Amino acid sequence: MEKAEARKLYKEIRKAVDNKESKSLIIVSKVLELVKDKNCIGIYYPIKDEVDTKPLIESLLSQNKKVALPVTSEDGMEFYAIESLNDLKNGEIYDYLKEPDPLKTQKVSPNDIDVMICPGLAFDKSGHRMGYGGGYYDRYLKDLPCYKVGLCFSELLLEDIPFCEHDVMMDLVVTD
């Protein structure tokens, strides 16, 4: 199966997942345990039918962790630390994304990120990630030493997914 065809299928599967809210909370509790000894967490703000990371972000902030979210540009993405979800605004390139306001938040060095929580349409049991096709996370993560964690609903953790040589693998995939 080609990647474009796979993406379409995975979006349909994810849209049909029941109980996304309760499943997201199960995933959040697992991730909180995983990052309890870490200081700086890179994470995404959820869109569409993704695992809801808002409770995770709020919990990490309440624990005084440095929480960094991406700001996308035509050149790629950079992560900025937020102090609350109120630090987010609609993205410049993709207005459906919630991103930190670079004028009100501080840029985080990629090497300061201990754990990167990555979105994806689907993952496989070897750690391959199927993103949306823009390559943002693959370019950002390719040389980073941080621990890479993918989040998905159990319906989208598959035996195998299509991947390319340049796709960055996850160290761990957390599901419900």
On whether the CB atoms of residues 46 and 72 are closer than 8 A, the answer is no
pTM: 0.95
The 10s digit of each residue's pLDDT in 59-88 is: 999 999 999 999 999 889 999 999 999 999
Domains, the chain, in order of start with CATH, read 3-174 (3.40.50.10420)
> pLDDT-based confidence at 122, cuts 50/70/90?
very high
On whether the CB atoms of residues 81 and 112 are closer than 8 A, the answer is no
Q: Which of 25, 31, 106 is nearest to 68 (CA)?
A: 106
The pLDDT of residue 174 is 98
Q: Indicate whether 108 pLDDT > 90.
A: yes
Residue range 146-169: average pLDDT?
A: 95
> pLDDT-based confidence at 30, cuts 50/70/90?
very high
Q: Which of 103, 61, 65 is nearest to 85 (CA)?
A: 61
Q: Indicate whether 175 pLDDT > 80.
A: yes
Distance, CA of 78 to CA of 71 (rounded, Å): 5
What is the amino acid identity at position 91?
G
> pLDDT-based confidence at 93, cuts 50/70/90?
confident
